A and B are shown apart, each in its own frame.
Chain A
C-alpha cells in the first residue's frame, strides 16, 4: 500500500529564515508526481509545488523548492525567506493508484515567528 510519512508534526522558523520539511513515501508506480500542499487556518488546501519523478532537476517555485531523492523515496520541501503568511499545515502527497488519487501524509504544522 502507498504510504507517506511526515516525521515532523510541528516545526517553527524565524521570519526571513529557511526551513526544511521532510517527507518519505512509498509507491509502486514507476513514473509519478509528488506534491506539497499547504492548508492555512481557513482550511482551503492549495498546491505549493509539484515534482515529476522522471525529472532529475528539483522543482522550484519562487521561495519554495524541493530536494527529491528518488532512490531514497524522499521529497523534502525547503522554504526560503520565510514569511508570516507561510504559517500553515503542510501536506506531502504521492499517488495511490493510476497516478491520480493522492495519499497524504499526516502533515507538518509550520509556525513562523516574527
Chain B
C-alpha cells in the first residue's frame, strides 16, 4: 500500500509570512496526526483528527497555527504568521481506528523560517 504522502518536502520562508503543508494519509486510516519535530528533539503532537473531527488540539498554537481535514482524508496545516521558532520538521502520521495501533509516518516537511 502507498505510504503517507507529504508536500512540500522543504520550505524556506521569512518570518511573518504564511505557509501551508499538505498530507495524504494511507487509504482507510481514520486517524491523522500532525507532529512538530524541532532539531534534536522528539516529535510533539500538534493536532489529532479522527475522520474529519478534531480529537486533540491542546498543543496547537491556535493564534498562528490552523489545520483542517476536509472529507476525512487529506489534511492541511497552516502557519500564519510564521516565527523563527517555527523552524522544524512537520510530520504527518496516520493510523487505523483503535488503541495501540502503529502510526505510519510521512517523510516530513522541513520548514526554515529566516
Q: What is A's interface to B at a CB cutoff of 8 Å?
A: 4, 32-33, 35, 37, 42-47, 50, 52, 91, 93, 96-107
Contacts and interface: CB of A to CB of B under 8 A. Distances in A.
B-side interface size class: 20 to 34
Contacts of B89: 43
B42 A100 contact: no
Interface of B: 3, 31, 33, 40-45, 48, 55-56, 89, 91, 93, 95, 99-100, 102-103, 105-108
B33 A105 contact: no
A100 B99 contact: yes
18 contacts: A33-B99, A35-B102, A44-B3, A44-B106, A47-B103, A50-B102, A91-B43, A93-B42, A96-B56, A98-B56, A100-B48, A100-B99, A101-B55, A103-B45, A106-B40, A106-B41, A106-B42, A107-B41
Contacts of A102: 43, 45, 103
Contacts of B106: 44
